[in-house]
Amino acid sequence: MKGLRISRIGDLGLELLSEECEVKINCAHLDCLISARKCEPKFSELRIPSVRGLRKGYVVHVNGVKVLHAGPIARPTELPPADVLAIPMGGFWYLSAFEACEIAKKGPWKVIVPLAYWVPGTRRPFDTENMIKDLCRGMIRIRASKFFTVNFDHTKKTLVLVSVR
C-alpha cells in the first residue's frame, strides 16, 4: 500500500500518484470526471446527492489503496468503505465541516482528506481549516503538506490537510 501520493487540485480535485499509475479526479461545475495515465485503474462510479441533484463520486483502486472521492456531496448519506476518504468539508454548496467530521468519525476510513474548505486568499464563504481541526479533534491526527504519501501504520484515523497545488 505504500508509495501512493495524494495531492489536491483546486477545491474538489484529487491526484493519486504512484510509479505505476497516475489518476486525476477533476471536479468542475459540481461534477467530477476521472482520467488516468500509465494504467487503467479499477474504479466504480457513485451517485452523490449535491445541491444540483445527483452528481458523480468515485471509488478508485490504485497501488493497493482504495480511495473514495465523495464528489460534490451536499447532504449526509451512506458512503461505501475505503482506505481513504476525500470529502468536501466547506459548507455552502457542500457538507459542513460538522457534517463531514461526523461521517468521518463513524466510517471505516483510515485517512480523511478534506476538500473544498476556506483557505486564506479565497473569497468563498466556506468553513475554515481551523473549524475542521476543531470539529475533528480527538479522534484524528492532523498533518499538513502539499503531498501526502499513504501509510496505514496508524492507530488512529488521520486527517490530512493537503494544500492545493
* Domains of the chain and any CATH numbers: 5-162 (3.60.15.10)
- Give just the sign of the alpha carbon dihedral 7, 12, 13, 18: positive
Radius of gyration, alpha carbons of the chain: 14
Residues 37 and 57: their CA atoms lie apart, in Å, by 19
The residues pairing with 27 across neighbouring beta strands, listed in sequence order, are 32
**Beta-carbon contacts of residue 77 (< 8 Å; ≥ 6 apart):** 48, 49
Per-residue pLDDT of the chain (165 residues; tens, 9 = 90+): 457 888 888 888 899 998 889 999 988 666 788 999 999 999 999 998 888 788 889 999 998 889 999 988 999 999 999 999 999 998 888 999 999 999 998 889 988 899 988 876 667 778 888 888 888 877 666 666 777 777 665 567 877 777 775
Amino acid 35 reads S
Residues 73 and 56: their CA atoms lie apart, in Å, by 9
